[in-house]
Amino acid sequence: MRMKLWHCHNTRSLRPLWAMEEMGMTYELVELPFPPRVLQKDYLRVNPLGTVPYFVDGDTHMTESSAIAHYLVERYQRYDFGLKASHPEFGAYLNWMYHSDATLTFPHTIAIRYAIMESEERRLPQAVSDYGRWFIGRLKRLDRHISDRKYLCDQRFTIADIAIGYALYLGEIVGFSKDYSTAILAYLDRLKARPAFQKVVVIGEAESTFKNISLWG
Ligand SMILES: N[C@@H](CCC(=O)N[C@@H](CS)C(=O)NCC(=O)O)C(=O)O
C-alpha cells in the first residue's frame, strides 16, 4: 500500500507533505477543509482526534507532524535529509525536531483558537497577544543559532529545517513575523524558496479559508 497523508492547506500536515516531496516519495494525498473535525465529520472515523496530519504507511498510523518527517528519514534510510545517531550534531538535530512543535507551534494553536475558532463571546484578545509575544520570546535561541548559518544542522538542509520552518511559516500567516529578526526572516525566505515547499504550499489554496489571518497588531 502507498503512503497516505490527510492534509489541510497551511496546517501542520505541511511538514510531512513537504518532507515527502523533498524526498521524491510517492504518496496518496487526501485534502480536507479546515477544521475537519467540524467541516468533515466522517474524518473522525479515520482520526478520532480530528486533527491533521494523519499518516498511514502499512500498519503504521501517525498523528504528529515532526515525528512523521523523522519516521520517513529512519524508515527509508533517507539520511540525505537527516542525521544518524552517530553524528556529533544528532542531539541538536533531535532538539530542533522536538522544539519545533512542543515549543514553537503550540502558541499559534492558542492564538488561533482564541482569535478565530471560538465564538465571539469566548474570544480572548489577551491570550492572542500574550502567546504571540511568548512565541517571539521563544525564538531567541533560534535567532542566535541561525545568525551565522544557512541551515540548522550539519551545514545542510534537513527535516529539522522543515519542522522549524513550518513554525515560522505559520507565524507569518498569523501575523507574528513582523517581529522576526533579520536572521530569522532570511532563514524563512531561504526555506520558502525551495521548489518542494513551493509545490506543496499551494495545494488546497483555492478553497482554503486558512491563509493570511492577521491575529496580531
Ligand atoms: N502535535 C500535532 C498537532 C496536530 C494539530 O493540532 N493540528 C491542527 C492543525 S495545525 C489541527 O488539526 N487542528 C484542528 C482541530 O484541533 O480540530 C502535530 O504536530 O501534528
d(CA 182, CA 115): 27
Do residue 37 and residue 118 come from a single domain?
no
Specify the pairing of strand 54-57 against strand 3-7.
Answer: antiparallel
Q: What is the pLDDT of residue 2?
A: 86
Q: What is the pLDDT of residue 206?
A: 87
Residue whose C-alpha cell reads 556529533 in the numeric block: 88
Q: What is the Å distance from ligand 1's center to 155 Cα? A: 30
Do residue 48 and residue 102 come from a single domain?
no
The finding on whether 43 has its CB within 6 A of some atom of ligand 1 is: no
Q: Are 131 and 144 in contact (CB under 8 A)?
A: no
The finding on whether 16 has its CB within 6 A of some atom of ligand 1 is: no
Do residue 96 and residue 183 come from a single domain?
yes
- The number of the ligand 1 atom at minimal distance from the alpha carbon of 65 is 20
Q: What is the pLDDT of residue 14?
A: 98
**CATH code assigned at 57:** 3.40.30.10
Q: Are 52 and 68 in contact (CB under 8 A)?
A: no
CA distances 214 to 50, 167, 174, Å, are: 24, 16, 5
Per-residue pLDDT of the chain (217 residues; tens, 9 = 90+): 689 999 999 999 999 999 999 999 999 999 999 999 999 999 999 999 999 999 999 999 999 999 999 999 999 999 999 999 999 999 999 999 999 999 999 999 999 889 888 899 999 999 999 999 999 999 999 999 999 999 999 999 999 999 999 999 999 998 899 999 999 999 999 999 999 999 999 999 988 877 767 676 5
Q: What is the pLDDT of residue 207?
A: 86
The torsion angles phi and psi of 48, rounded to 5 degrees, stand at -60, -20
pTM: 0.96
d(CA 24, CA 26): 7
Q: What is the pLDDT of residue 78?
A: 98
Do residue 13 and residue 96 come from a single domain?
no
Q: Are 134 and 169 in contact (CB under 8 A)?
A: no
Question: Radius of gyration of the chain from Cα atoms?
Answer: 17
Residue 39 included in any domain = yes
Pick the residue whose CA is nearest to atom 5 on ligand 1. 51
Q: Which of 1, 11, 2, 68 is nearest to 35 (CA)?
A: 11
- Structurally, the chain folds into a number of domains equal to 2
Q: What is the pLDDT of residue 200?
A: 98
